[in-house]
Every structure is written in structure tokens, then in C-alpha cells.
């Protein structure tokens, strides 16, 4: 089991509509969320130390430490590409499905609380935004995106839900915006246009990769609120639909993806952002893509919905060691 001390949480945490998983846990002290985190052992939080005029120091024991700070681990989710249905799975494939004509083809989804899903964009209504409450199974309309899109990706950016890149009409885009105070706000754009990219956030940074451009990784830094392009030539051909999780500040785990509609990948790489090197590690058991980058990660296991050439499937990938130990 890996042990970390969190010392980079910025305070105060201002009141807002949606919080990152770690903020949510600290602010609400939600028993359900805490019980869930304790339940899967690891990860678990041992204690929280409050120190006046200092950052809170939290002893956090987890094999998936970095991933859990900004990614809800309560479900892995999927939006049907041929049917208008939202599929969710808890641990051990306790699955259920929601159907609605309001679900958009080629939109993107992300968990913004333990029980709420943000759905943005889509082919038919590219500016549309909704929130799906999994407890009540209700859908609420939200403010439109500033710039419509589909085939984009989502992540927490500066502590707010964000949408990144994508496509509108025949054009790939690099525009980025965040959902702040129930309105969409433009922020700095990517350096490259990216379609179906993958994003992972950690502390004050957001990492974006793929999207048909595999020559660089883009990193958003909260200090200057800009995207910085890091040259990192990993794949021979442009790849979309990758899966990615953060292992640490300078390590990413990237897996799967698709070159085109007939060529899928089962490769898994550990990317070192300091040395700009990619190390090939264990392959997935099956080739496929992960357009929603929604996973449950615990110990040696990664559970997710994958699309292969024929169908969408729930998969469980077991590594030879705890995933955090790949660093």
C-alpha cells in the first residue's frame, strides 16, 4: 500500500455548486462518501489535521491516491453510442441503466458529485447541458455551453467542471470552458485542436493528451491559467479515445485508444513528464477505447466501460502490482 501526505491543498475552499471529490469529503463530511471510500480498502483516510493559518495536512493511504483527488470513484459510467441510455456500474459490476430521449448522441459525461452526472454537448444540440441526479433519476437543464461541441472530454479545472476540445460541424476545436456559478465561462484554449482527447486533473494542474495529436501533452497550470505544451512523441499514429489516470505529479498511465474505426489498441504506457519518456507495460486483455475516461481504480484493479470494434463492454483489468507502484 502506498502512503502519501497531502500538503498542496489550497485553502480556503470557497462555496460553490460542485466540489472535487477530495473537497467534497472534507467540506461535507458525507458519511456515505466516507463509508464508500473506507469500504473498498484501500483507499481510506486515516485522519485530518487542522492547523491554524496553514494548509490542512491529511494522511491518506491509498493505492490510487492521485486518481481519487479529482475523480469520483463511486461509479464508472458510459453513454450508449447507438441507444439513448446511460449505463452506470458500481464495484463488482452492480450495473443499472437509465434511458431518456434527452440523452444526446456523442455528448460527454462526468461525475460531479457522488450521485450527479454532468452531460454536455452532443451532435444534435452541441450547446446543451444537463445534470442527471442518480438518486432521484431526474434530469435538470442547465445554462448552455458558450461554444457548442461534441466528442470532447471533461475534467475538473481550477476546482470546477470543465469541457475541453472536441468537434463542431467538420472542425476540430481547442476551446475550453468551466461551469462556474451555474454559468459557462471561457478560459484559455488548448494549443492544439483535439477531438476525443483524454484529460486527468491533479492538484492545480490538468493534463490533456491524444485527440488525434500524439506529439504533445498539454498541461494547464492554475498559476498562470494557461495551457503549456510538452512535446512527447509516443504513438506512431494519431490516437483518440485513450484512457488515462494520474499516478503522480509527473507520471501518467495511458491505455487503449483507437487510430481509426478499424484499428483499436491494447497498449498501456507509463508516461514520465519530467524525462518525456513513455515506458510500455502490461497490455490490456482486450483492445478498445475509453471515450468517457470514467473508471473505478482500486489496488491492482481498474474497472471501466470499454468500446471495442463490435460492442461496449464492462472490463476489469488486473495489473501485476498496485497501480500506484508503477511509478
Chain mean pLDDT for the chain? 78
* Span 319-326, average pLDDT: 60
**CATH number of the CATH domain containing 212:** 2.120.10.80
Reported as type and span, the H/E element at residue 19 is none
Q: Among the listed ranges 40-54, 139-153, 175-189, 258-272, which one has the minimum average pLDDT value?
A: 40-54
Query: Do 107 and 53 fall within a single domain?
Result: no
What pLDDT is stored for residue 48 in this prediction? 45
pLDDT tens, position by position, 172-192:
999 999 999 999 999 999 999
CA-CA distance, 27 to 13, in Å (whole number)? 8
Number of folded domains that form the chain: 2
Residue 24 belongs to domain spanning: 3-66
Domain boundary among 66, 84, 104: 66
Query: Do 49 and 147 fall within a single domain?
Result: no
Query: Do 77 and 114 fall within a single domain?
Result: yes
Query: Do 279 and 228 fall within a single domain?
Result: yes
DSSP string, 178-225: EEETTEEEEEPPPSS--SSEEEEEETTEEEEEESS--SEEEEEETTTT
pLDDT tens, position by position, 32-89:
555 544 443 344 444 444 444 444 444 444 445 567 778 776 677 777 665 566 766 6
Query: Do 137 and 36 fall within a single domain?
Result: no
pLDDT at 153 over 90: yes
Dihedral angle sign, alpha carbons of residues 120, 123, 127, 130: negative
Lookup: cell for 218: 498539454
Residue that wins the pLDDT comparison between 202 and 42: 202
Query: Do 101 and 223 fall within a single domain?
Result: yes
Query: Do 146 and 39 fall within a single domain?
Result: no
* Span 247-264, average pLDDT: 82
At 1, the pLDDT band (50, 70, 90 cuts) reads very low
Query: Do 106 and 92 fall within a single domain?
Result: yes
Lookup: cell for 294: 470514467
Measuring CA to CA, how many Å separate 92 from each of 134, 142, 220, 241, 288? 18, 33, 34, 24, 20
pLDDT at 194 over 90: yes
pLDDT at 291 over 70: yes
Mapping DSSP to helix (H, G, I), strand (E, B) and coil, where does residue 70 land?
helix
Provide the pairing of β-strand 251-255 with 258-260: unpaired
Most confident of 104-118, 134-148, 273-287: 134-148
* Span 282-299, average pLDDT: 82
* Span 93-112, average pLDDT: 72
Query: Do 189 and 292 fall within a single domain?
Result: yes
CA-CA distance, 208 to 177, in Å (whole number)? 14
Percent of the chain with pLDDT over 90: 28
Query: Do 237 and 155 fall within a single domain?
Result: yes
Amino acid at each position: 500500500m502506498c502512503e502519501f501526505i497531502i500538503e498542496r491543498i489550497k485553502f480556503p475552499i470557497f462555496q460553490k455548486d460542485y466540489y472535487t471529490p477530495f473537497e467534497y469529503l472534507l467540506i461535507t463530511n458525507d458519511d456515505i462518501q466516507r463509508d464508500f471510500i473506507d469500504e473498498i480498502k484501500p483507499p481510506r483516510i486515516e485522519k485530518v489535521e487542522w492547523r491554524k493559518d496553514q494548509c490542512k495536512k491529511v494522511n491518506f493511504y491509498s493505492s490510487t491516491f492521485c486518481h481519487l483527488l479529482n475523480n469520483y470513484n463511486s461509479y464508472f459510467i458510459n453513454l450508449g453510442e447507438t441507444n439513448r441510455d446511460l449505463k452506470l456500474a458500481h464495484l463488482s459490476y452492480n450495473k443499472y441503466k437509465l434511458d431518456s430521449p434527452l440523452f444526446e448522441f456523442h455528448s460527454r459525461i462526468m461525475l460531479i458529485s457522488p450521485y450527479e452526472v454532468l452531460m454536455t454537448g452532443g451532435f444534435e444540440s452541441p450547446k446543451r447541458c444537463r445534470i442527471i441526479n442518480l438518486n432521484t433519476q431526474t434530469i435538470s437543464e442547465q445554462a448552455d455551453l458558450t461554444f457548442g461541441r461534441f466528442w470532447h472530454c471533461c475534467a475538473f479545472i481550477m476546482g470546477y467542471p470543465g469541457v475541453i476540445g472536441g468537434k463542431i460541424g467538420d472542425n476540430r476545436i481547442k476551446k475550453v470552458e468551466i461551469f462556474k456559478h451555474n454559468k459557462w465561462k471561457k478560459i484559455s484554449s488548448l494549443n492544439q485542436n483535439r477531438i476525443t482527447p483524454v484529460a486527468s486533473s491533479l492538484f492545480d494542474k490538468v493534463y490533456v493528451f491524444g485527440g488525434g495529436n500524439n506529439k504533445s501533452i498539454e498541461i494547464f497550470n492554475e498559476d498562470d491559467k494557461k495551457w503549456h505544451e510538452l512535446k512527447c512523441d509516443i504513438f506512431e499514429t494519431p490516437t483518440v479515445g485513450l484512457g488515462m489516470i494520474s499516478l503522480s505529479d509527473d507520471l501518467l498511465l495511458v491505455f487503449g485508444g483507437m487510430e481509426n474505426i478499424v484499428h483499436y489498441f491494447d497498449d498501456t504506457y507509463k508516461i514520465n513528464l519530467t524525462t518525456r519518456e513513455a515506458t510500455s507495460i502490461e497490455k490490456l486483455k482486450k483492445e478498445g477505447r475509453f471515450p468517457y475516461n470514467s473508471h473505478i481504480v482500486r489496488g491492482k484493479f481498474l474497472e471501466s466501460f470499454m468500446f471495442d470494434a463490435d460492442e461496449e463492454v464492462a472490463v476489469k483489468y488486473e495489473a501485476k502490482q498496485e497501480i500506484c507502484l508503477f511509478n
